[in-house]
Amino acid sequence: MPVASERLAGWLSPKWLVGAVAVAASALLASYDVRLGMAAGTLLGVVALVWVYLAVRYGSLSGAPSVRAALVERSRQQAANRERAARASGAQGSAEPAESV
Question: Using one digit for the tens of pLDDT, what is the confidence trace for 16-49?
Answer: 888 888 889 888 988 989 999 899 889 999 999 9
Residue type, position 28, single letter: L
Ramachandran bin of 10, using left for φ above 0, alpha for ψ from -120 to 50, beta for the remaining angles: left
Residue pair 20/44 in contact (Cβ under 8 Å)? The answer is no
Residue pair 26/18 in contact (Cβ under 8 Å)? The answer is no
Question: Using one digit for the tens of pLDDT, what is the confidence trace for 42-88?
Answer: 999 999 999 889 888 877 666 667 777 788 889 999 999 999 999 98
- pTM (global) more than 0.85: no
